[in-house]
Structure 1
Amino acid sequence: MTTAFVLVHGAWHRPSTFDLLRVELDALGHASVSVNLPTAGPDPQGGLAEDAAAVRAAIEAIEGPVVVLAHSYGGIPVTQAAAGLSNVQQLIYLAAYVPDIGESMFTIHGVPDPEDSDALFPIGDDPHSLLYADVPSPLAEQAVADLVEQRVQPWVDRVTAAAWRTIPSTYIITERDATLPVALQERMSAHTKQVRRIATSHSPFLFQPAEFAAVLDELSSR
């Protein structure tokens, strides 16, 4: 039975960020779905619970084996949502947060919670360099134009389950990442069973979608 992929985007993004990757996965025979996280969007709502519920619903809607790809912030709701789901064959954390029980994005970074968690977090002055440094300019410009608002609340909320404790997991370190420091990626990768390294910036699914789909295909066949 062919493995299906559930793709979970990071902060400020929408499901369409994986459109090019999904085309390549389809060419390799893999069905895929890209989850819409409610805390990111033109009208973002909720916190970690709502994002995790969206991920869990997407996984449960698929019959057969599932591989979940979590990018960046997406690692947090995936860690919460996939716990206890028997059809999840593997978790793949792509330059992603891998929290343990009781951790949040803020605790992982070792910083205090903000006074106002019911707020939006700005993307910064140069998202092109931060997120898409090696992506061809026209595509990177479109990706920047597609970014949306992001709530702070899910970054504050702490996970209450850790799916990587029971589900085989792989961490993909992006070695040229300007968003998530490689040293932090390496620290979080200690939670996973295996580690891969790729010489890209933060968004290889846009930089080299065919090559990245081949990596996912290889990992899913193990």
Structure 2
Amino acid sequence: MGAAAVLVHGLYHRPGHFAPVAAALRAEGIEVAVPELHRGSLAADTAAVQAAVDALEEPAVLLGHSYGGSVITGVRGALHLVYLAAFVPDAGESAAALGGASSRLREAIVPGPDGTTSLHPGRAVDALYGDCPGPLAAWAVGLLRPQAPGCGRGVPEHRSWKRTPSTYVVCARDRAVDPALQRTLAARCTHAREWPTGHSPFVSRPALVVALVRELLTGSGVAARRAEEAGGDTADR
């Protein structure tokens, strides 16, 4: 296809959460990078993703989920930015300043003795994977890891969405990041659409994510539109 995709996870998550999406894209001959964050700060996480983008031989669609939106905002050189239920910070803004986690997600956070936090498994299912079958939600929760403090308060050095084409995906049944906040942030992007999913469609509905990335790489919207229509009403802007 002559292009690539970089998938950027959010807080508490790992590259493994994108495994179904990454496998499907690679099966189509698309080069995929899924960098590990958890580097201790937004600046360090951004540097890791920038390195992944720079290492690719082809231009990449860069997808950031939740906190991953703050990360991709600071990365240069993407073909297209995708904000999946993600934060789109402007000058001086952080994910936390934009509204951060919902009360449901905050209630799931468990402080650790070393300053890190983790998520209570049962409450994490409710907040992050409420639209997933039980075994699938259990798999996703099992991949979650403790999170170092402070990343959500980081402010990106650059704001790539101001010069790079972007698409925002609102997850209308999200229990972790308020869909109303998502719609406000979507107005900052070039395009927006809405999916009838919870916070983590790369787990619950990976075909939607695969179709969107494919659409952006090929310029054809047919596959993504069909996948969205199969899941319910959508709205583009």
**TM-score, scaled relative to structure 2:** 0.82
The alpha-carbon distance between structure 1 residues 63 and 190, as it changes in their structure 2 partners (threshold 3 A), is same
List per-residue Cα deviations over 1:88-145 (Å, max 9, x = no partner): 210000000110121112211289xxxxxx9323425500011111112112101111
User: Is 1:120–1:150's contact at 8 Å kept on the other side of the alignment?
Assistant: yes
Letter in 2 for 1:28: E
Residue in 2 that maps onto 1:220: 217
Unmatched runs of 5 consecutive residues or more in structure 2: 102-113, 220-237
Instruction: Find the residue that maps to 2:63 and give its secondary structure.
Output: strand
Secondary structure (helix, strand or coil) at the match of 1:150 reads coil
Q: What is the match of residue 230 of structure 2?
A: none
Counterparts in 2 of 1:60-139, with a 5 A limit? 60-80=54-74, 82-83=75-76, 85=77, 88-109=78-99, 119-124=115-120, 126-139=123-136
Q: What are structure 1's unaligned runs of at least 5 residues? A: 40-45, 112-117
The structural deviation recorded for 1:154 is 1.3
Q: Which structure has more helix as a fraction of its residues?
A: 2
After TM superposition, the runs of 4+ consecutive aligned structure 1 residues lying more than 6 A away are none
Q: Which residue does the alignment assign to 1:42?
A: none
SS at match of 2:173: coil
Give the aligned partner of residue 169 of structure 1.
166
Counterparts of 1:217 and 1:61, CA distance in 2: 21
Structure 1 letter corresponding to 2:56:
I
Whose relative contact order is higher, 1 or 2, with alpha carbons under 8 Å and at least 6 apart? 1
**2:201 alignment partner in structure 1:** 204
Matched residue of 2:26: which SS?
helix
C-alpha change, 1:108 and 1:211, in structure 2 (3 Å) is closer
Aligned mates of 2:212, 2:51 — CA distance in 1: 26
> Which position in structure 1 is the counterpart of 2:5?
5
Separation in structure 1 between the aligned mates of residue 186 and residue 207 of structure 2, nearest angstrom: 24
1:56 partnered with 2:47: no
The number of residue pairs the alignment matches comes to: 206
Cα offset, 1:209, TM superposition:
1.6
TM-score, normalisation: structure 1: 0.87
Identity, in percent, stands at: 39
Q: Is the 8 A contact 2:5 2:213 kept in 1?
A: no
SS at match of 2:24: helix
Tell me what 2:233 maps to. none
Contact 1:28 1:217 in 2 (8 A): no
Structure 1: how far apart are the matches of 2:158 and 2:91? 5
Read off the aligned partner of 1:131 and give its amino acid letter: L
**Correspondent of 1:146 among 134, 143, 161:** 143
- Alignment-derived partner of residue 43 in structure 1: none
Aligned with 1:184 (options 181, 186, 205): 181
Cα–Cα, structure 1 residues 110 and 209, in superposed 2: closer, same or farther, change >3 Å? closer
How far apart in 1 are the matches of 2:189 and 2:82? 9
Q: 1:159 aligns with which of 156, 160, 165?
A: 156
